[in-house]
Amino acid sequence: MEKGERLAKRIARAGLCSRRDAELWIAAGRVAVNGKAVTTPAFNVTANDKVVVDGRPLAENAPTRLWLYHKPWGLVTTHKDPEDRPTVFAALPKDLPRVISVGRLDLNSEGLLLLTNDGALARRLELPATGWIRRYRVRVYGDITPAMLAEMKQGVTTGGIHYGSAEVRLDSTKGDNSWLTVALTEGKNREIRNIFEHFGCKVSRLLRLSYGPFQLGGLKRGEVKEVPSKVISALCLVPCI
């Protein structure tokens, strides 16, 4: 008998949302399989099962696609913002299919953001276990000391949250402002800002330069560039999901 795959994974692979969000949709009663409502994520489906989400049949899994996007400052990385602020997804070209982001960049951050039509892939690439380094160019107001940088490399606990090792290089200083390059693998919410605030410093600009093997390079603000399918295959992103 065919074992199939988890229902939440099927929904995520169809590009509707992340696997985590799909589990919440299922628990909320928004999903039916073969005409019957399913409310537990611990449910497997096969290729022959008919899945319906919010009354609409789930589309066949599209080939996994991945894009690089240069997120401008002032956009929220969400599909719908309760404060009605401009969002990344409303700013994307209209010819893009529905996509979700791999992680987020906050309102005041800019730079490289990965987008995909495959929720399961997004979830996998967000996990620290992937080991991909996120590299940032950061402008900081405050006194930067060697002891501070050494402590960041060991990991910092602040506000009840532990942040793992961050490799920080001081590039230049002019007055009270410094430019630094920061490399980390976790990418927790506001991680870099919170770490520097712990030392009494304030981040005034944050630009993501790279995410794993993908580079911002010469991508202009607001520009989107698709990653060739052969690159996705070479990195084993599809078979390993």
What are the structure tokens assigned to 209, written together? Answer: 């330069």
- Cα 132 to Cα 165: distance, rounded to the nearest angstrom: 13
Tokens in use for 77? Answer: 């990385």
Partnered with residue 135 across adjacent β-strands are 183, 210
Cα–Cα dist 229/121, whole Å:
14
The answer to whether the CB of 142 falls within 8 A of the CB of 175 is no
CA dist., res. 167 & res. 152, Å (int): 7
- Token look-up 């599909």 returns 79
Q: Name the helix (H) or strand (E) containing 195.
A: helix 191-198
**Token digits of residue 223:** 């520009």
Instruction: Show the tokens assigned to 76.
Output: 């929220």
Q: How far apart are CA 193 and CA 204, in angstroms?
A: 9
Lookup: tokens for 27: 């628990």
Residue 162's DSSP bridge partners are 157
Q: Which residues carry out catalysis?
A: 106
